[in-house]
């Protein structure tokens, strides 16, 4: 069924964007701007693929991707939170490091057949026409992305710890004065963001394209960063935005297949052009942007000695 096939491909393309953006959203809500999402994603992808090849289990591959993504984010955290390095420059360096390192350690796996993670069918619900195969016969990553959106939304806006984290992101000085552990909570937020980026990368090499290809993240980390701004730091908007960008990505592939009279390079650039257009539109509404942006985002914090 054509409609079912299109919906499945849109979900597969959108899932890594949602997962990576949710991790970055939590980090930015804590006041940390980590531009290294692309680097953490690609490291998670290569780690997941290598671990799956070594063990034969894609689930162990997922764990490897999450651990490596978190470890990479820990490097970012040490540099920016403990040594107060510039967050923008460190994040960019992390991406460059991830792209280069993943290409080097994954060189021997290029062209190797991958092991695709099989979908998990939910009994009875998976048999519903159209809706069942699309929503209830999916892989682990899709279910994890939905759980992340629900869990992060509850955590940020319904839990006391989430309130503390948002307070740190809005004014780390006042939060420190009130006795909140600013550095510790920011470390945890950064680690969570890295784990999510690694999980998103694992989806790329185990589901989206079950093989290892150098630079297979292909700018998705940057789209995830843009998604957080597009969503005004709201989890449910991240979900909607992720599927919007996923639909654009799949739409350009179908446009190429149908032979539209446009250069393939132009069609391939559509998801990134859409990202720029959305950010330009958002930037015009300065009042909404200022209200929703964590006030301490990207600002260094040095506690009183």
Dihedral angle at the C-alpha atoms of 144, 147, 149, 150, nearest 10 degrees?
180
pLDDT on residue 2: 76
* CA gap 248, 236 in Å, rounded: 19
Provide DSSP, 23-66.
Answer: HHHHHHHTT---TTHHHHHHHHHHHHHHHHHHHS-HHHHHHHHH
| Annotated domain spans of the chain | 2-292
* CA gap 224, 240 in Å, rounded: 12
Question: In what helix (H) or strand (E) does residue 113 lie, and over which residues does it extend?
Answer: none
Other Cβ atoms less than 10 A from the Cβ of 131: the count is 13
pLDDT on residue 32: 96
- The average pLDDT across 250-265 equals 65
Q: Helix %, strand %, coil % for the chain, to 5?
A: 75, 0, 25
Q: What is the pLDDT of residues 20-66, one digit of tens each?
A: 999 999 999 999 999 999 999 999 999 999 999 999 999 999 999 99
For residue 183, the SS3 value is helix
State yes or no: pLDDT of 305 exceeds 60.
no
Residue where the block lists tokens 């540099």 = 79
Q: What is the pLDDT of residues 70-80, one digit of tens each?
A: 999 999 999 99
Q: What is the pLDDT of residues 77-95, one digit of tens each?
A: 999 999 999 999 999 999 9
CATH architecture of 2-292: Orthogonal Bundle (1.10)
Half-sphere exposure of 228 (CA within 13 A, CB side): 25
pTM of the model: 0.92
Angle at 184 between CA 305 and CA 69, to 5 degrees: 135
Phi and psi based region of residue 149 (left: phi greater than 0; alpha: psi -120 to 50; beta: remaining): alpha
Q: Do 4 and 134 meet the contact criterion of CB atoms below 8 Å apart?
A: yes
Q: What is the pLDDT of residues 194-222, one digit of tens each?
A: 999 999 999 999 999 888 988 898 889 99
pLDDT on residue 152: 96
pLDDT on residue 290: 65
Q: What is the pLDDT of residues 143-180, one digit of tens each?
A: 999 999 999 999 999 999 999 999 999 999 999 988 99
Q: Indicate the range of 31-35, 110-114, 117-121 predicted with least confidence.
A: 110-114
State yes or no: pLDDT of 109 exceeds 90.
no
* CA gap 99, 35 in Å, rounded: 13
């Amino acid at each position: 069924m054509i409609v079912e096939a299109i919906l499945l491909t849109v979900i597969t393309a959108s899932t890594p964007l949602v997962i990576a953006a949710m991790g970055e959203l939590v980090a930015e809500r804590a006041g940390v701007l980590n531009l290294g999402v692309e680097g953490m994603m690609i490291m998670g992808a290569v780690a997941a693929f290598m671990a799956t090849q070594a063990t034969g289990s894609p689930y162990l591959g997922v764990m490897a991707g999450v651990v490596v993504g978190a470890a990479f984010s820990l490097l970012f955290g040490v540099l920016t939170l403990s040594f107060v390095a510039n967050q923008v420059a460190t994040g960019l360096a992390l991406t460059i490091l991830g792209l280069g390192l993943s290409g080097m350690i994954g060189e021997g796996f290029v062209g190797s057949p991958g092991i695709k993670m099989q979908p998990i069918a939910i009994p009875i619900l998976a048999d519903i026409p159209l809706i069942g195969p699309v929503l209830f016969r999916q892989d682990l990553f899709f279910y994890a992305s939905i759980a992340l959106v629900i869990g992060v939304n509850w955590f940020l806006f319904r839990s006391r710890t989430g309130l503390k984290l948002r307070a740190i992101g809005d004014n780390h000085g006042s939060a420190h004065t009130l006795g909140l552990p600013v550095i510790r909570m920011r470390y945890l937020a950064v680690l969570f963001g890295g784990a999510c980026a690694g999980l998103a990368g694992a989806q790329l090499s185990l589901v989206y394209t079950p093989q290892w290809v150098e630079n297979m993240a292909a700018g998705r980390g940057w789209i995830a960063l843009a998604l957080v701004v597009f969503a005004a730091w709201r989890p449910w908007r991240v979900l909607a935005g992720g599927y919007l960008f996923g639909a654009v990505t799949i739409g350009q592939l179908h446009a190429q297949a149908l032979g539209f009279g446009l250069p393939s390079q132009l069609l391939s650039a559509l998801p990134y052009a859409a990202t720029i257009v959305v950010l330009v539109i958002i930037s015009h509404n300065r009042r909404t942007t200022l209200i929703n942006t964590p006030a301490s985002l990207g600002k260094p914090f040095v506690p009183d000695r």
